[in-house]
């Protein structure tokens, strides 16, 4: 008779490590006990959040290629367009009764009229960051402050950043730097528990 811990599971989609440091690969049967040991170790190392995911691929390549667009709910369309086009410099591509399409570089932004939208900013840390050159940062920050744009956070990380709210309370940021500069700083002063994967 087989106990539950001896039942085999073969749906592991990527290499993981078990507690005895043996590698487990796709197609190699695992007992439930081994799989649970793997999950416990991965949780301890903060590499997963209670579930194994399998990357969606076609012919071995990820099918997602980047951010397509961002949609923000607005209470008043004219006010939203004025902020993003008039103040931040987005290009207005089209507008209708219930929404507008704007662009900034390769970014496609949709403003969607939504009566349920409130002006109160969300309490979590979700926000959208725009790139800005070091030479333009100070003037940009001064201009927004002069226009009464509210800040929602002080910068405490690498690179100059101005954290500000749009008229509907969406959290935005203008940031000097990119992923490479952030990682370089983190290698010098890593955040708690940080690991690098390159």
CA distance 93 to 77: 14
99 SS3 class = strand
Q: Which of 115, 142, 158, 173 is catalytic?
A: 173
pLDDT at 57: 83
**What's the rounded mean pLDDT across residues 58-66?**
87
Q: Are 104 and 89 in contact (CB under 8 A)?
A: yes
Q: Which of 53-62, 71-80, 104-113 has the lowest mean pLDDT?
A: 53-62
Residue 147 has pLDDT above 90, yes or no: yes
CA distance 112 to 173: 20
Tens-digit pLDDT profile for residues 82-132: 999 999 999 999 999 999 999 999 999 999 999 888 878 888 999 999 999
Question: How much is the pTM?
Answer: 0.70
* Mean model confidence pLDDT for the chain: 83
Residue 48 has pLDDT above 50, yes or no: no
Task: Please indicate whether residue 198 or residue 16 has the higher confidence score (pLDDT).
Answer: 198
Q: What band does 56 get if pLDDT is binned at 50, 70 and 90?
A: confident
Query: CA angle at residue 105 from 103 to 111, to 5 degrees?
Result: 20
Does residue 173 carry a catalytic annotation?
Answer: yes
pLDDT at 119: 78
| CA contacts within 13 A on the Cβ side of 49 | 0
Q: Which residue pairs from 45-49 have beta carbons closer than 8 angstroms and sit at least 24 positions apart in sequence?
A: 45/195, 46/193
């Amino acid at each position: 008779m087989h106990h539950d811990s001896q039942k085999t599971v073969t749906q592991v989609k990527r290499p993981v490590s078990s507690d005895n440091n043996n590698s487990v690969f796709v197609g190699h049967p695992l007992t439930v006990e081994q799989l649970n040991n793997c999950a416990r170790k991965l949780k301890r190392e903060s590499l997963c959040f209670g579930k194994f995911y399998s990357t969606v691929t076609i012919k071995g390549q990820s099918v997602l290629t980047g951010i397509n667009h961002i949609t923000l709910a607005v209470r008043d369309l004219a006010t939203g367009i004025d902020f993003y086009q008039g103040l931040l410099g987005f290009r207005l591509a089209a507008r209708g009764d219930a929404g507008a399409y704007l662009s900034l570089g390769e970014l496609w932004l949709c403003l969607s009229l939504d009566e349920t939208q409130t002006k109160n900013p969300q309490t979590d840390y979700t926000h959208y960051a725009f790139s800005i050159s070091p030479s333009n940062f100070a003037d940009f920050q001064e201009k927004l402050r002069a226009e009464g744009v509210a800040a929602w956070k002080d910068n405490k990380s690498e690179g100059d950043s101005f954290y500000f709210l749009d008229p509907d309370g969406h959290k935005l940021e203008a940031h000097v730097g990119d992923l490479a500069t952030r990682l370089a700083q983190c290698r010098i002063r890593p955040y708690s528990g940080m690991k690098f994967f390159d």
